[in-house]
Amino acid sequence: MGSRRRDRRELLKSGAAMVGGLTFGAVMPAMGQTPSPTFIRGNKDQIAYGDRSHFVTSVRIPHGGRPSPDPFGLVFHVATPLQDSVGVITPSSLHYVATTRGSFIPDIDPREHRLMIHGMVDRPLTFTIEDLKRLPSVTRLHFIECAGNRSTPKAKTIQESHGMTSCAEWTGVLLSTLLKECGVKGGASWFVAEGAEEVKGASSMPLAKAMDDVIVAYGMNGEPVRPQQGFPLRLMVPGFEGIFSTKYLRRIKLVDRYYMNYNDYGHLRQDANETALGYQVGPKSVITFPSAGQQLSGKGFYEISGLAWSGGGAIRRVEVSTDDGKHWMDAEIKATPQRRAHTRFGCPWNWDGKETVLLSRCTDELGQVQPTLAQVAKFFNVPLGEVPGLDNTIQPWRIASDGSVQNGHA
């Protein structure tokens, strides 16, 4: 009996030493002092679909300075709360939303919805949702990111600067499976995807992408795709700018050239290949904690945490700097990186209470390294605030001596 008591005392001593070694700024509460919980009575809503704790307050916010919904009920960009994220999967209810063409969400009966594939095919075919669910399916983790997802000096939080990206588990049929059923004619090199929105937006993409990893998705995070994400059918184009992942998918046409469409407004380049392929998202990372708008409680140990992703494939390396880029250290990648998906990273940090700047940068499987804003501006020979195209530059977070965190670009 005496030896057991000694063993327990030694265990408690070693535990206290561990906590002391991390130099937390606050004292841990004593054992046995947790207040007794109150209890939640069940109701039909909780049973039918479930809800989260009322202590969890993460919400999406309008993005880009425009209210959503506006006084007419139109929905525009809505940003996900990256600052509160854990792991890599964005809950469906917190997934970012990009403007729907016409801004009203179509109310589509899945029993009546059809997907037509035609153009340069041997057998034009029309599929019902039931037809698609009978075919071999895939389930894959992929991010989507809007072209407007970029840091500006005006952004006060990470949700404002980087909240237009999310990552979900998508289930559906590979587009290549459907195209093989239809038979692709020689000479076909592009395809046009169209959604059933009020304004018929469409996107042109290379046929090679269709035959690689594009998914005709009817499932998201273990349930049907939600209306804001394209119910009942959405195209998932991994790694490409979000506008290519056509919502409310109803038609795919195979063609022999690049076609200019409504979605190309503001995305124009002279070379057709550059127009489409130039919108593959480059390697990008951002520290989610600590990030702008958050507050550190005092000097001591923290784990820096963040997300990295790339349209070029899986993330192979993430580095973190705690001294504004003077020195870099490898971060820990928290799980096996998936191709074209968010990857969680972490890095231990013992803050000395002095002002500093935190940075992160990533490298993908192609060897592409996330650049600084100055490097991209020099490459394009433009001022820092006028970087064109998709912005995958390094985001600095400035830590003040009082523990407040601000946008390093401000």
Q: What is the pLDDT of residues 119-163, one digit of tens each?
A: 999 999 999 999 999 999 999 999 999 988 988 889 999 999 999
Query: How many CA atoms, within 13 angstroms, populate the side-chain half-sphere of residue 266?
Result: 6
Q: Are 234 and 98 in contact (CB under 8 A)?
A: no
Cα separation, 323 vs 355, in Å, equals 9
Please, which pLDDT band fits residue 294 given cuts at 50, 70 and 90? very high
Q: Choose from 26-30, 34-38, 270-274, 398-402 the range with maximum mean pLDDT.
A: 398-402
Q: How far is CA 104 from CA 64, 100, 241, in A?
A: 18, 7, 22
Residues in the chain: 410
Q: Are 200 and 101 in contact (CB under 8 A)?
A: yes
Q: Where are the alpha helices (DSSP H) in 23-96?
A: 44-48
DSSP characters over 275-321: HHHTTBPPPEEEEEES-TT-B--SSEEEEEEEEEE-TTS-EEEEEEE
Q: What is the mean pLDDT of residues 85-112?
A: 89
Cα separation, 158 vs 288, in Å, equals 7
Cα separation, 231 vs 226, in Å, equals 5
Please, which pLDDT band fits residue 293 given cuts at 50, 70 and 90? very high
- Among 348-362, 374-388, 396-410, the minimum mean pLDDT is found in 374-388
3-state secondary structure at position 76: coil
Task: For the chain, list the domains and their CATH numbers.
Answer: 114-277 (3.90.420.10), 284-407 (2.60.40.650)
CA diameter of the chain: 84
Cα separation, 334 vs 337, in Å, equals 8
Q: Are 146 and 77 in contact (CB under 8 A)?
A: yes
pLDDT surpasses 50 at 12: no
Q: What is the mean pLDDT of residues 325-346?
A: 98
pLDDT surpasses 50 at 280: yes
Cα separation, 51 vs 45, in Å, equals 8
Q: Compute how many other C-beta atoms are within 10 angstroms of the C-beta atom of residue 408.
A: 18
pLDDT, greater one: 382 or 101:
382
- Among 176-185, 244-253, 268-277, the minimum mean pLDDT is found in 268-277
pLDDT surpasses 50 at 15: no
pLDDT surpasses 50 at 13: no
For residue 176, the surrounding DSSP H or E stretch is: helix 175-182
pLDDT surpasses 50 at 292: yes
Which two tokens mark 359?
């940075």
Q: Where are the alpha helices (DSSP H) in 263-383?
A: 272-277, 373-380
pLDDT recorded at residue 40: 73
Cα separation, 39 vs 158, in Å, equals 34
Which two tokens mark 217?
């998705």
Q: Tokens 């995958």 sit at which residue?
A: 392
Q: What is the mean pLDDT of residues 158-170?
A: 97
Nearest to 183 by CA among 97, 260, 109, 118: 118
The percentage of the chain sitting over the pLDDT mark of 70, rounded to a whole number, equals: 86
Please, which pLDDT band fits residue 101 given cuts at 50, 70 and 90? low
Please, which pLDDT band fits residue 170 given cuts at 50, 70 and 90? very high
